[in-house]
Amino acid sequence: MNKFTTALATGVLAFAPMAAFAADSSDPIVIPIHNWSSQIVMSNVVGQIFEEMGNNVEYVTTDSQAVYESVRLGDVTLEMEVWEGAFGASFRAAMEKGGIVDVGDHNAVTREDWWYPMWTKDACPGLPSWEALNDCAEIFATAETGSKGRYLDGPVDWLKHGKERVEALDMNFEVINAGSAAALWAEIGAAEADKRPVVVFNWTPNFAEAVWPGEFVEFPEWVDGCDKDPAVGPNPNALYDCGNPADGYLKKAAWEGMEEKWPAAYAVLEKISFTNPQIAEMARLVDVDELEPDEAAAEWLEANQDVWKAWLN
Amino acid sequence: MAVISTNQPGIKPQQYTSTQIATGVFCVALIFTLLQFTGLLPSWLHRLPESWIPPFAVWLDAAFNFIRTDLGLEKLTRWFAEGPLQFMLDTSANLLYGKKRWPGFEQIPWSAIAAAAAVLGYYLGGWRLAALAGGTFVWTALIGQWTIAMETMSVLVVAAPMAFVIGLGLGIAAWKYPWVDRAIKPILSVLQTLPFFTYLLPAVIFFKVGPTAGAVATIIYAIPPMILMTTLGLKKVSSEVVEAGKMSGCSRFQMLRHVYVPAARTEILVGVNQVIMLCLAMVVLTAFIGMPGLGAKLLAMMGSFKLGRSFEIGVTIVLLAVTLDRLSKAWVVKLPEHFEKGTPWWQRHKYLLAGVGAFVFFTILGQFVEWFAEIGRRQNFSQGKEIDTAIKTFLAFDLVQATTEKIRYVLNVWVLNPFRDFLLSIPTAGFILFVVAGALALGGRRSGIYAAVFFGLVALSGWWDRSVITLYSVISAVILATLIGLPIGILAARSEKWSQRVLLICDTAQTFPSFIYLIPAIMLFGITATSVVMSILIFAMVPLVRYTVEGLRGVPEEMNEAADMSGATRMQKLWNVQLPLALPTMAVGFNQAIMFAFFMVIIAAFIGTQDLGQELQKTLAGTDLGKNFVLGICVSLMALTFDMAIMTWADRKKRLLGL
């Protein structure tokens, strides 16, 4: 029995390249949509490419964490943006349970770290160095943090280890966790009104770069093992005494049955890869030019024909 | 509280009353707490040791998997979701926004729906309702939200009738068979108090992410009041009516169809109204599990900090809710019309004909004039950017800054944080006993026992500190809501006109998506406890004000007159006559406020909290279902404790007052 399944699996694997010529199922490919612009537009771009190939496509709005369970069950066919920082843990856990496959990385790097909007630099000119940030900690103080500066970290489930870093580098900061990305934007938006200095968790590529120009704080550079071996990094007795890696992955994931059901679409999905400027451009079309996501996708496809037509062959 | 003993005549004199026991329990709790403060309390009474905590999460996970796969429940629900439910949703989606499904029509022009709605409004309630109903749809189209609004409606037109049918059926069954009633009641209570984050994953697993899961979650949320109102209405049917039915020889089904249900019409229609309101309240939350339309767009807009457009979507949801609410209420009040024999068919159905006529006219017009069929993105009147600017300008005023800064400082540093630290410093055993004492004093022995069991389970769950923080947000918000809401309610209840106005504001606050409050709350008060409490406060104040107004307005006129005759001043009348009579109704409002607060405190995890909501948010990836259930049940158990004690108290008071 066991041998039989192994044989079958090898057979399927061997024929996989050939399967690319088989016709795709006429069932709709279900693409999940979350609540940030680049993901919405990218999903629409991919959806329109699939439609171009003659597939049926449907979009469904879901929570960006709960979506991995749906991909495993095959209710949702793929996921265009798996961020290493925010969703890496969920993705890995889903991989362990099975049903989801890794379809490769985008040619983009993601960076997630302490960040400040440009006006903060006026009050603390030594930035972006982290030592300079620490020296002007008191300008980031709020009513609740007393004399300590306040650093607004991402939601706890993103596991950013802000607290550990503050302790490891002996910084004069208190870490508060925001509950959602929207909460972070609200805090930056409120600070913008009177150009109050703030330091918050942020990442790239996202829409905030276009709305609020800013910079990442430069921490001691990431060295492999900084999260596992205390000896690594400036503080010999602590973990997390470095900045985050400045080149996190951005992956594509799919339901494991996709390859069999929509072989042609899957083959294209494997080739699809967006770069940082392309992702930023997609977000800009919606966030700054105020296009609807499907129009933005159509516009992007129109302007970048050479990019995506190459994936089709 | 001597009531208990009068209710039980066989009681021996040496037995203690609930109040005495409550006082005793309170004293023990106090001693525990004082011992803890002096450092004499054994540590296991302060916090349960880790090793005592049973692996509830593992057990629940196993139980869930058993029900899901071994019992085959998943197959059944999947069949339902992907078969009949999907078919209905696809059909309505095709009709309302032209999704490419059976029967393959084009989208119905917005002008046709608006015109038909206006005629319906006129038929039910004259010009004012016609303007409201027509105006809502015109607004939706002009602001450029027609398609997304119809995506939402396509799910609601399936979910609301299903909630109605199921609720009516269960309500009738509960009225007919007491055992059904007994079985349903606790399930309903648990369903109503479970936090939304706990529904989310089971809905996605059993009913497939997308409109199907959205519809099911909406139905579950909207059913309970329908069941309760149906049972209530049927119980109230007078015996004369029943007798008349029996005399005319009705069969059992005929009795139900032609006697009971028509006689209970008013209550059943109030249930319908509640179903509609609750369906609209779920529009945004269900977007997390695939509900398309307004909610999904709102989340996307908030994710990119577009306050103006989020606000406009909120307005659309409120307008839809108020329209449907007023239409259904007008339908409740409208009595069946009777025509003389021989009235021609067209005269009896003139409104129906007018509605169909208007619908057909605009549908045809839409084929020729594009504008009447669909308003494109460039033609709409959205003011998103302008509203954004207005909000930012408002926030930049020094006065606003200074005021919010002060409120934030005083509340956080002097009130909320010390209160939280105080609650956390009470030993677990003492805390449970305090709650038990409160429940005993309010609701009697049964409530006290339930409180002990429920809070005991919360302690055993291993999430005690977070539960206490959750409770602290709820208590702080409800106290503040009472301080603000009661005076508003009392003042508004003085005149009919102001009552109406305040109730309209309540409707608006209730259906305006709670997510939109979160952002301004953060912008004003930062990511702090104040923001959390403020956003809960707005939501919790609604039932408090509503029930206070209704309770005071419901005081019998004779009582008011009697008070006036005996020369009572306005204050005396309020304190000695009106408030005591309105108190049971107000207690129901207070209870609702607590339930709403428990609902909202979990949503407030999006601001940033350290309570159960934050832990629940972490479990959304679905890899830790057992933990998700444990956390959800903790919230539910705490809410149920309050619910039971207060409702028992209100019921007893009502009976004593003869209301």
What is the overall mean pLDDT for chain A?
86
pLDDT of B236: 85
- Token pair listed for B332: 């409740």
Mind telling me how many Å the CA of A86 is from chain B's nearest CA? 11
Min Cα separation B189/chain A (Å): 26
CB within 8 Å: B395 and A94: no
Tell me the shortest Cα–Cα distance from B148 to chain A, in angstroms: 12
Question: Which residues of chain B are within 8 Å of residue A198 when distances are taken between CB atoms?
Answer: none
Least CA distance to B401: which residue of chain A?
A194
Integer Cα distance of B251 and B240 in angstroms: 17
Indicate the CATH number for domain B397-425+464-659.
1.10.3720.10
CB pairs < 8 Å spanning A and B: 169
- A-chain residues near B601 (CB < 8 A): none
In A, minimum Cα distance to B624 occurs at: A93
SS (H, E, C) A51-65: HHCCCCEEEEECCCC
User: What is the domain partition of chain B in residue ranges?
Assistant: 110-142+304-336+346-384, 397-425+464-659
Give residue-wise pLDDT tens across range B416-428. 999 999 999 999 9
Out of 3.30.360.10, 3.30.1390.20, 3.40.190.100, 3.40.50.10490, select the CATH number for domain A111-216.
3.40.190.100
A262 HSE (CA, 13 A, CB side): 24
Q: Does A281 score more than 60 pLDDT?
A: yes
- Mutation target among B78, B209, B624 for the A interface, most CBs of A within 10 A: B209
Chain A residues closer than 8 Å to B201 by CB = 66, 69
- Residue-wise DSSP of A173-193: EEEEE-SSHHHHHHHHHHHHH
Per-residue pLDDT, B8: 47
Q: Which residues contact B201 (CB under 8 A, 6 or more apart)?
A: A66, A69, B620, B622, B625, B628
Q: Please name the residue of chain B whose CA is at the shortest distance from the CA of residue A74.
A: B208
Map out the domains of chain A as residue ranges: 2-109+248-312, 111-216
Answer whether 0.90 is exceeded by the pTM: no
Q: Given an 8 Å threshold on Cβ–Cβ distance, is B622 in contact with A68?
A: yes
Taking CA–CA distances from B520, the nearest residue in chain A reads A186
DSSP H helices, B444-528, are: 445-460, 464-492, 496-511, 514-525
**Helix, strand, coil content of chain B in percent (nearest 5):** 80, 0, 20
Q: Which residues of B touch A89 (CB under 8 A)?
A: 621
CA distance A142 to chain B (A): 9
- Test B204 with A179 for CB contact under 8 angstroms: no
pLDDT digits (tens, 9 = 90+) for B158-214: 999 999 999 999 999 999 999 999 999 888 888 888 998 888 888 999 999 999 999
Contact: B287, A61; criterion CB under 8 Å: yes
For residue B370, how many other CB atoms are within 10 A of its CB? 12
> Which chain A residues are within 8 Å of B291, Cβ to Cβ?
61
Q: Which CATH superfamily is domain A2-109+248-312 in?
A: Periplasmic binding protein-like II (3.40.190.10)
Q: How far apart are CA A278 and CA A276, in angstroms?
A: 5
pLDDT for position B634: 95
- Can you read off the two tokens belonging to residue B500? 């109406």
Helix, strand, coil percent content, chain A, rounded in steps of 5: 45, 20, 35
Cross-chain CB nearest to B527 (options A89, A176, A193): A176
* A1 or B108: which leads in pLDDT: B108
Confidence of residue A16 (pLDDT cuts 50, 70, 90): very low
**Distance (Å, whole) CA B43 – CA B496:** 58
d(CA B223, CA B165): 9
Phi and psi angles of residue B101, each rounded to the nearest 5 degrees, phi first? -145, 175
Nearest to B303 among A36, A189, A211 (CB): A36
pLDDT number for residue A127: 85
**Residue ranges in chain B whose pLDDT is less than 50:** 1-11
pLDDT value of residue A221:
87
- Tell me what pLDDT residue B14 has: 59
Write the single-letter amino acid at B533.
V
Residue A22 confidence (pLDDT): 60
Report whether A207 contacts A160 (CB < 8 A): no
The alpha-carbon gap from B374 to the nearest alpha carbon of chain A, in Å, equals 15
What local confidence, expressed as pLDDT, does residue A49 receive? 95
Q: Where are the extended beta strands (E) located within B236-348?
A: none
- Please check whether residue B112 is in contact with residue B350, taking contact to mean a CB–CB distance below 8 angstroms: no
Least CA distance to A32: which residue of chain B?
B290
pLDDT at B377: 66
- Our measurement of the distance from residue A32's CA atom to the centroid of its chain's CA atoms, rounded to an integer in Å, reads 15
State the pLDDT at residue A13: 46
Q: Which residue type is seen at A36?
A: W
Q: Out of B288, B307, B385, name the one closest to residue A66 (CB).
A: B288
Q: Using 50, 70 and 90 to split pLDDT, how confident is the model at A289?
A: confident
User: Closest to B607 (Cβ–Cβ): which among A40, A144, A183?
Assistant: A183
B204 closest CB neighbour out of A34, A61, A66: A66
CA nearest to B148 within chain A? A292
B377: nearest CB among A157, A182, A292 = A292
Select from A89, A177, A181 the Cβ nearest to the Cβ of B303: A181
**B527/A182 touch (CB, cutoff 8 Å), yes or no:** no
The predicted structure's pLDDT at residue A101: 96
Strand partners, A201: A114
What is the residue whose two structure tokens read 């009572």? B568
B179-187 long-range contacts, CB within 8 A, separation 24+ = B181/B231, B184/B227
Query: Taking CB atoms and an 8 Å limit, are A143 and B409 in contact across chains?
Result: yes
Residues of A in contact with B296 (CB under 8 A): 33, 61
Compute the nearest-CA separation of A307 from chain B (Å).
Answer: 27
For strand A214-216 and strand A173-177, is the pairing parallel, antiparallel, or unpaired? unpaired
Top pLDDT among A160 and B634 is at B634
Q: Which residues from B are below 8 Å from A76, CB to CB?
A: 209
Instruction: Determine whether the interchain pair B209/A36 forms a contact, defined as Cβ–Cβ distance below 8 Å.
Output: no
Do the domains A2-109+248-312 and A111-216 sit in the same CATH topology, yes or no?
yes
B300 with A292: Cβ contact below 8 A: no
Cross-chain residue pair B302–A182, CB shorter than 8 Å? yes
* Contacts with A68 from chain B: Cβ below 8 Å: 621-622
CB contact under 8 A, A32 and B209: yes
Chain A residues in contact with B409 by the CB 8 A cut-off are: 143
Q: What is the pLDDT of residue A199?
A: 94
- Choose the mutation target among B152, B306, B522, B619 for the interface with A, i.e. most A CBs under 10 Å: B522
Chain-chain contact of B303 with A37 (C-beta, under 8 angstroms):
yes
Q: Is the dihedral of CA A91, A95, A98, A103 positive or negative?
A: positive
Residues of B in contact with A152 (CB under 8 A): 527
Sheet bearing A199-204, strands edge to edge: A173-177, A149-153, A199-204, A111-117, A214-216
A-chain CB neighbours of B384 within 8 Å are 290
What's the confidence (pLDDT) of residue A15?
45
Distance to chain B for A66, nearest Cα, Å:
4
Query: Closest approach of chain A CAs to the CA of B459, in angstroms?
Result: 23
